[in-house]
């Protein structure tokens, strides 16, 4: 049994094996409909319990399809209906019940500590469905999308992130270290990653660069990533922050500094950080990116169950 919380804590080989499995599975089920089950139904009889303490569309749907396609099933708990959310039950006891009734637990939460506490008391795998510090399932799937479109290992590509220092960027930084790709981050100085992340970069990479000049961040890029300037529950003065990111908006002009065949990716939902012209252009691969989450999360589930081929 394995947990899937942060990319930085998972061996690079394991991450690569997940992607290899996802590629094989995606090809093998080309002609199957959404709810048809993969050959061999590897997770037959297994129940994935999901809980979202924050909004979600893609993660919810993609985990639903992922476990169904592996032959298992899922149940989504509403946090406001649990004793836990009202202080009426401990994480320890909740975890014990989840472990007895289910086979894996996927949690989207506003507390990294909560994930760790659940991990301590669960005897089933826990998967991080987004936390303040990480969005690991998203970014692993994004590596898959990049390699699928570019038909090259990501280590041979120049990746750019233009946007806030948030959970998605933290996971992209970890991915850059695990998969050894160049990452150029374009972000106003005031919003650069915090000192823990900076020291993680310093210790582990010479391929990650920070730019206050947005053009430099986009220069020669094979892929440009972005995300909302204001993340869920971001406790800031929103107008001020959006204003600080004015020059970091992804528009046609900025895309022209990247390679001609540069693609645009965004985990969604979007805000105003990207112009409609770019978002709906041929370079934008955001819908393919969103759908790939199903395929990669299936292999993440199999990894957690120790059933990766």
Which residue numbers are catalytic? Answer: 108, 135, 138, 227, 267, 293
Using CB under 6 A as the binding criterion, the count of chain residues that bind ligand CP stands at 8
Residue 137: which region, alpha, beta or left (left: phi > 0; alpha: psi -120 to 50)? alpha
Q: Is 56 in the site for ligand CP (CB under 6 A)?
A: yes
Q: Which of ligand CP, ligand NVA, none binds 231 (CB below 5-8 Å, type-dependent)?
A: ligand NVA
Tell me which of 6, 50, 59, 165 binds ligand CP, using CB under 6 A.
Answer: 59
Q: Mask: binding to ligand NVA, 121-160, rule CB under 6 A, as x and -?
A: ---------x----x-------------------------
Tell me which of 2, 23, 58, 114 binds ligand CP, using CB under 6 A.
Answer: 58
Per the CB < 8 A criterion, the answer to whether 158 and 222 are in contact is yes
Q: Is 165 in the site for ligand CP (CB under 6 A)?
A: no
Residue with tokens 């899922």: 74
Closest approach of ligand CP to the CB of residue 171, in Å:
11
Burial class (CB in 10 A: 0-12, 13-18, 19+), 139: buried
Closest approach of ligand NVA to the CB of residue 109, in Å:
11
What DSSP assignment string belongs to 156-191? GSEEEEES--SHHHHHHHHHHHHHT-EEEEE--GGG
Q: Is 138 in the site for ligand CP (CB under 6 A)?
A: yes
Of the CA atoms within 13 Å of residue 248, those in its CB half-sphere come to 29
Selection from 298, 8, 3 nearest residue 121 by Cα? 3
Choices 39-47, 81-89, 96-104, 224-232 (CB under 6 A): range interacting with ligand NVA: 224-232
In angstroms, rounded to a whole number, what is the distance separating the alpha carbons of residues 111 and 190?
24
Residue 296: which region, alpha, beta or left (left: phi > 0; alpha: psi -120 to 50)? alpha
Tell me which of 47, 219, 268, 291 binds ligand CP, using CB under 6 A.
Answer: 268
Q: Is 174 in the site for ligand NVA (CB under 6 A)?
A: no
Distances from the Cα of 46 to the Cα of 65, 72, 73, 173, 307, angstroms: 14, 5, 6, 33, 12
Taking CA 144 as the corner, what is the angle to CA 141 and CA 147, rounded to the nearest 5 degrees? 155
Tell me which of 28, 41, 57, 75 binds ligand CP, using CB under 6 A.
Answer: 57
Distance in angstroms between the alpha carbons of the first and the last residue of the chain: 14
Tell me which of 143, 267, 301, 304 binds ligand CP, using CB under 6 A.
Answer: 267
Tell me which of 18, 174, 177, 267 binds ligand NVA, using CB under 6 A.
Answer: 267
Which parts of this chain interact with ligand NVA (CB under 6 A)? 130, 135, 166-168, 227-228, 231-232, 267
Which parts of this chain interact with ligand CP (CB under 6 A)? 56-59, 130, 138, 267-268
């Amino acid at each position: 049994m394995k947990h899937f919380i942060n990319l930085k804590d998972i061996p690079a080989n394991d991450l690569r094996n997940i992607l290899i499995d996802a590629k094989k599975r995606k090809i093998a089920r080309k002609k199957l409909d959404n709810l048809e089950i993969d050959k061999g139904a590897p997770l037959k009889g297994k129940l994935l319990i999901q809980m979202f303490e924050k909004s979600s569309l893609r993660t919810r749907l993609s985990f639903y399809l992922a476990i169904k396609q592996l032959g298992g099933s899922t149940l989504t708990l509403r946090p406001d209906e649990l004793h836990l959310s009202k202080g009426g039950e401990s994480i320890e006891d909740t975890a014990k019940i989840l472990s007895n009734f289910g086979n894996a637990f996927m949690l989207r939460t506003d507390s990294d500590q909560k994930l760790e506490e659940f991990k301590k008391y669960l005897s089933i795998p826990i998967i991080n469905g987004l936390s303040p510090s990480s969005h690991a399932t998203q970014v692993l799937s994004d590596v898959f999308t990049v390699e699928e479109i570019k038909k090259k290992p990501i280590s041979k590509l120049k990746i750019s992130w233009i946007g806030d220092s948030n959970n998605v960027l933290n996971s992209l930084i970890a991915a850059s270290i695990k998969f050894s790709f160049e990452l150029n981050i374009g972000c106003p100085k005031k919003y650069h990653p915090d000192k823990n992340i900076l020291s993680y970069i310093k210790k582990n990479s010479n391929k990650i660069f920070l730019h206050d000049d947005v053009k430099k961040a986009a220069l020669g890029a094979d892929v440009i990533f972005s995300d909302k300037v204001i993340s869920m529950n971001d406790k800031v003065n929103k107008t001020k922050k959006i204003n600080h990111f004015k020059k970091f908006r992804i528009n046609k002009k900025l895309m022209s500094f990247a390679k001609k065949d540069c693609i645009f990716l965004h985990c969604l939902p979007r805000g105003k950080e990207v112009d409609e012209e770019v978002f709906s252009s041929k370079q934008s691969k955001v819908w393919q990116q969103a759908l790939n989450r199903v395929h990669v999360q299936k292999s993440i589930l199999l990894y957690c169950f120790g059933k990766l081929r």
